[in-house]
Amino acid sequence: MSSAPEDPRYARQAPRRPLRLSWADERVRNLFWQVLVVGLVGGAIYWLWSNTVHNLEVRRIATGFDFLGREAGLPIAESLIPYDPSMTYLRALTVGVLNTLKVAVVGIVLATILGTFLGIARLSRNWLVAKLAYWYVEVVRDLPLLLQLLFWYALLQGLPGPRQALNPIEGVYLSNRGLKLPFFVWEAAHSWALLAFALGVVATLLYRRAMRARQMRDGAPRRVWPFALLAMLGAPLAVWAAMGAPFTPDVPVLRGFNFRGGVDVSPEFFALLLGLTLYTAGFIAEIVRAGILSVHQGQWEAAQALGLPRGRVMNLVVLPQALRVIIPPMTSQFLNITKNSSLAVAIGYQDIVSIANTTLNQTGQAIEGIAIIMLVYLTISLSISLFMNWYNAKIALVER
Amino acid sequence: MQPILRHLTAATAVALGLATALPAAAQAPAPAQAPAAAAPANTLDAIRARGTLICGVNTGLAGFALPDSQGVWRGFDVDYCRAVAIALFNDANRVRFVPTTAQVRFTALQSGEVDMLSRNTTWTFSRDTSLGFDFTGINFYDGQGFMVKRSLGVQNARQLDGATICVQPGTTTEQNLADWARGNRINIRPVVIERLEDNIAAYNAGRCDAYTTDVSGLAAIRAVQSNPNDHVILPDVISKEPLGPLVRHGDQRFADLLRWIHFGLLTAEEFGITSQNVQQALANDPRPEVQRLLGRTGDLGRMLGVDNAWMANIIRGLGNYAEIFDRNLTPIGLQRGRNALWTQPGGLQYSPPFR
């Protein structure tokens, strides 16, 4: 505020008059309307709240979040953390949140990759490729997502049963119970190797930045890949080997009703992922296409005049500029994937909505249940928005 | 900038004062504001004023609640809704049926979207207490079982170790399944799909080895399969499932009506009053309890706040308990079993006296 007097705009302001309690005074009128609006909104909120509390009391419906500590007793088919029905509702809801995140994160990555390829394909000079991408986008965008999910789920159920499972490669089984893949028994050495890999990624990024800085000084390009290979592949392998290189294969075998061992991708998860990815990729393709078209033709011509091949023109000149147009609408698509994942309940994937619905049904505490669902989506959505806004600011045109 | 800021602070302060002062003025007519909300305190009066009963039923379960080819709702649970409509309006058609899934049924009743639920709902402790409902009796004694494809060769439920089982979310069935598996140290993998039809489609497609719900529900589902003999209902019954209509807590008069309609249907069966002979019985049945039941003497109907001929009208329109059972549940292969009158061996259906 101390800078206000120096600002020439303030210097031109009319001299302040004392507040007169009259309708003629604009400030009094402004104050009146503001008080009225805020009062009405506040009153309406209070009325809704007190009414709700009153009605809940009259009906003797339990309120509060005590139920979170009670035993859930509901079975959950797939979980990223250990869970059994003797655990609490809080644990069950956590499992639900993680299931939502799982499908949203994988969906966002896959839809972005597929959508980018489709967007580029739509601009391809190859007539067939461009037309195929065009029709894909048109068909996928025009059909309701729920219908597509039910379609994929029905299609996956049409696969043979576990006893007649398709067996394309040794150890891989595809049946109406899902996709079974061979894995190995996870031991401490594998966790350490994973940690080494993560450190390798960080080291590679730092190395690349340092190399870029040197290139800026003398203009000579430097190779990053030998270091990347060493840090991201060599180091984890060395850690794994140093700890005795444990490897016990865990191959799925048919026992009783189903396969035991290995890892599986359930039809519910797969149908949801497939539906979300294919649907959203259609929208992303259009965003990417719009982004590329927004880059002036002159940029293409200038880059080609420098002798860059078409692929490098795209990677080095066009896409970085297109990103500025692409990122903001992309945020909406990422949010859409996350929110659309709540359709999971229709095909039996136990996400947060499914589990919270069951919880509110078993405990009768609908308001609390809905509040939890809203809080979870709000948190996830705001996190995505924050990250994307940060990224957007980072890649924004730096004016010099 | 400063004046604007000051305005805003002042506005907020006054608004806060208003928001807290306003209710003080509104506190006096507090009971009056309740009817303006989702559901009035007296549902019975609201139904009368509206002229139709809004009854929450299953989304489609043969024998219990399923629209026929003309779109008319038919079934055991549906008949209980119609009985209430007859008692109130002497018209079995003044009911609007609201299909509710297992997951939304309780919220629908709590919020006042429906007046009552007649929807294969199990009477449990927590539903009667913390969910804010009143169960009005048990019109069907049931228990949870399993249905499997005959080709699977499973003889009893304990052989289901490692099986994938389809179950509807938000039901006692879902929790019983988890309890049973834990209690018997059996591993099961649930598949929970909200809509009954989608759930059964998943079972039929072989996504699940077994489908679990109340035995009555299994019979209903099996009856409408393209070839019922391809499916077996296993002999094990893993739980008690007392089913009956329910209303919101605090609806005592409405609950009384529902409770005594059920007892009236049982008493009618006990005394052999049917839709065929009710007219005759009304004219010249010498038994005093029958005369009171049908409203020829006494004023039991008026005590409930309905027409004195309420039970006579219900029996004329729908029949007694046995007729309702035979019309709806016998065709899907259900036996009377525990739902026989207490005078039969093993029967549990018992009515207090009409006096």
Substitution target in A58, A76, A84, A153 with the highest count of B β-carbons within 10 Å is A58
Crossing angle for the helix pair B310-318 and B252-270, to the nearest 10 degrees: 60
Minimum distance, in Å, between the CA of residue A378 and any CA atom of chain B: 23
Minimum distance, in Å, between the CA of residue A345 and any CA atom of chain B: 6
d(C-alpha A222, C-alpha A231), whole Å: 17
pLDDT bin (cut points 50, 70, 90) of residue B196 is confident
pLDDT bin (cut points 50, 70, 90) of residue B15 is very low
Substitution target in B109, B121, B192 with the highest count of A β-carbons within 10 Å is B192
d(C-alpha A231, C-alpha A218), whole Å: 26
Q: Look at residue A35 and tell me whether its pLDDT is greater than 90.
A: yes
Q: Which residue has the higher pLDDT, A215 or B321?
A: B321
Q: Give me the pLDDT at residue A162, please.
A: 82
Cβ–Cβ of B190/A76 closer than 8 Å? Answer: yes
Crossing angle for the helix pair B252-270 and B76-89, to the nearest 10 degrees: 110
Cβ–Cβ of A256/B163 closer than 8 Å? Answer: yes
d(C-alpha A102, C-alpha A189), whole Å: 25
Minimum distance, in Å, between the CA of residue B81 and any CA atom of chain A: 22
Q: Give me the pLDDT at residue A12, please.
A: 62
A96, HSE (Cβ side, Cα atoms, 13 Å): 28
**Alpha helix (H) residue ranges in B251-342:** 252-270, 278-284, 288-294, 300-304, 310-318, 321-328
Mean pLDDT, to the nearest integer, of B179-205? 90
Q: What is the DSSP letter of A15?
A: P
Crossing angle for the helix pair A366-395 and A352-363, to the nearest 10 degrees: 160
B181 CB near a chain A CB, below 8 Å? yes
- pLDDT tens for A293-313 read 999 989 989 999 999 888 888
- Range from A160-169, A367-376, B229-238, B328-337 carrying the lowest mean pLDDT: A160-169
**B174 and A75 Cβ atoms separated by less than 8 Å:** yes
Q: Which residues of A200-213 are buried (b: 16+ CB within 10 A; e: fewer)?
A: beebbeebeeeeee
Cβ–Cβ of B169/A268 closer than 8 Å? Answer: no
Strongest mean pLDDT among A72-86, A89-103, B151-165: A89-103
Q: Which residue has the higher pLDDT, A311 or B266?
A: B266
Q: Look at residue B28 and tell me whether its pLDDT is greater than 60.
A: no
Mean pLDDT, to the nearest integer, of B100-115? 90
Contacts of B38 in chain A (CB under 8 A): 55
Q: Look at residue B4 and tell me whether its pLDDT is greater than 80.
A: no
**Whole-structure pTM value:** 0.79
Percent of chain A whose pLDDT exceeds 90: 48
Mean pLDDT, to the nearest integer, of B31-47? 60
Mean pLDDT, to the nearest integer, of A125-136? 94
Crossing angle for the helix pair A366-395 and A89-122, to the nearest 10 degrees: 40
Cβ–Cβ of B249/A348 closer than 8 Å? Answer: no
Q: Is A90 helix (H, G, I), strand (E, B) or coil?
A: helix
Are the folds of B43-140+243-334 and B144-239 the same? yes
Q: Give me the pLDDT at residue A43, please.
A: 95
Q: Where is A181: in which H helix or E strand?
A: strand A178-181
Q: Which residues of A251-273 are buried (b: 16+ CB within 10 A; e: fewer)?
A: bbeeeebbbebbebebbbbbbbb
Phi-psi region of B161 (alpha: psi -120 to 50; beta: other; left: phi over 0): beta
**B228 and B141 Cβ atoms separated by less than 8 Å:** no
Nearest-by-Cβ selection for B198 from A85, A161, A346 = A346
Q: Look at residue A141 and tell me whether its pLDDT is greater than 70.
A: yes
CB A393: neighbour CB atoms within 10 A? 9
Percent of chain B whose pLDDT exceeds 70: 88
**B254 and B306 Cβ atoms separated by less than 8 Å:** no
CA A169 to chain centre: 32
Cβ–Cβ of A47/B26 closer than 8 Å? Answer: yes
Query: Looking at this predicted complex, what is its ipTM?
Result: 0.75
Q: Look at residue A356 and tell me whether its pLDDT is greater than 60.
A: yes
Substitution target in B4, B14, B158 with the highest count of A β-carbons within 10 Å is B14
pLDDT bin (cut points 50, 70, 90) of residue B36 is very low
* Chain A residue nearest residue B250, CA to CA: A59
Q: Which residue has the tokens 């509104």?
A: B26
* Chain B residue nearest residue A67, CA to CA: B130
CB A275: neighbour CB atoms within 10 A? 26
Q: Look at residue B25 and tell me whether its pLDDT is greater than 60.
A: no
**A75 and B55 Cβ atoms separated by less than 8 Å:** no
pLDDT bin (cut points 50, 70, 90) of residue A5 is low
Averaged confidence pLDDT in chain A: 88
Cβ–Cβ of A31/B11 closer than 8 Å? Answer: yes
Residues linked to residue B192 through DSSP beta bridges, in sequence order: B167
Q: Which CATH architecture has domain B43-140+243-334?
A: 3-Layer(aba) Sandwich (3.40)
Minimum distance, in Å, between the CA of residue B168 and any CA atom of chain A: 9
Q: Where is A370: in which H helix or E strand?
A: helix A366-395
Minimum distance, in Å, between the CA of residue A313 and any CA atom of chain B: 49
Nearest-by-Cβ selection for B22 from A16, A43, A363 = A43
**A249 and A182 Cβ atoms separated by less than 8 Å:** yes
Minimum distance, in Å, between the CA of residue A295 and any CA atom of chain B: 41
pLDDT bin (cut points 50, 70, 90) of residue A363 is confident
Q: Which residue has the higher pLDDT, B26 or A91?
A: A91
pLDDT bin (cut points 50, 70, 90) of residue A173 is confident
In angstroms and rounded to an integer, the radius of gyration of the C-alpha atoms of chain A is: 29
In angstroms and rounded to an integer, the radius of gyration of the C-alpha atoms of chain B is: 24
Cβ–Cβ of A362/B163 closer than 8 Å? Answer: no
Averaged confidence pLDDT in chain B: 87
- pLDDT tens for A310-353 read 888 888 888 888 988 899 999 999 999 999 999 998 898 999 99
Contacts of B195 in chain A (CB under 8 A): 346
Vertex A121: Cα angle to A120 and A123 (nearest 5): 70
Q: Is B135 helix (H, G, I), strand (E, B) or coil?
A: strand
Substitution target in A7, A38, A180 with the highest count of B β-carbons within 10 Å is A38
Classify domain B144-239 at the CATH topology level: D-Maltodextrin-Binding Protein; domain 2 (3.40.190)
The full DSSP string for A91-137 is: HHHHHHHHHHHHHHHHHHHHHHHHHHHHHHHHT-SSHHHHHHHHHHH
Crossing angle for the helix pair A145-157 and B196-204, to the nearest 10 degrees: 30
Spell out the domain ranges in chain B.
43-140+243-334, 144-239
What the block records as the tokens of B182 is 């834990």
Minimum distance, in Å, between the CA of residue B19 and any CA atom of chain A: 5
Instruction: Kindly give the pairing relationship between strand A178-181 and strand B116-117.
Output: unpaired
Q: Which residue has the higher pLDDT, B53 or A60?
A: B53
Q: Give me the pLDDT at residue B45, please.
A: 92
Mean pLDDT, to the nearest integer, of A21-50? 90
pLDDT bin (cut points 50, 70, 90) of residue A13 is low
- Please count the residue pairs, one from chain A and one from chain B, whose beta carbons lie less than 8 angstroms apart: 195
- pLDDT tens for A247-260 read 888 888 887 777 87
Q: Give me the pLDDT at residue A249, please.
A: 81
Q: Look at residue A39 and tell me whether its pLDDT is greater than 90.
A: yes
Q: Look at residue A280 and tell me whether its pLDDT is greater than 90.
A: yes
Q: Look at residue A105 and tell me whether its pLDDT is greater than 70.
A: yes
pLDDT bin (cut points 50, 70, 90) of residue B170 is confident
The B residues from 204 to 243 touching A (CB cutoff 8 Å) are 205-207, 209
Q: Which residue has the higher pLDDT, A365 or B117?
A: B117
Task: Report how far apart, in Å, the C-alpha atoms of A162 and of each of A159, A173, A176, A179, A274 are.
Answer: 9, 8, 7, 10, 21
B164 CB near a chain A CB, below 8 Å? yes
A334 Cβ neighbours under 8 A, 6+ residues apart: A108, A384, A388
Cβ–Cβ of B37/A61 closer than 8 Å? Answer: no
d(C-alpha B76, C-alpha B79), whole Å: 5
Q: Is B53 helix (H, G, I), strand (E, B) or coil?
A: strand
Instruction: Kindly give the pairing relationship between strand B66-67 and strand B210-214.
Output: unpaired
CB B150: neighbour CB atoms within 10 A? 11
d(C-alpha B326, C-alpha B276), whole Å: 15
Cβ–Cβ of A74/B174 closer than 8 Å? Answer: yes
Nearest to B116, CA basis, from B89, B147, B144, B77: B77
Q: Which residue has the higher pLDDT, A297 or B7?
A: A297
d(C-alpha A68, C-alpha A375), whole Å: 15
B283 CB near a chain A CB, below 8 Å? no
Minimum distance, in Å, between the CA of residue B207 and any CA atom of chain A: 6
d(C-alpha B111, C-alpha B293), whole Å: 34
- Range from A374-383, B66-75, B102-111 carrying the lowest mean pLDDT: B102-111
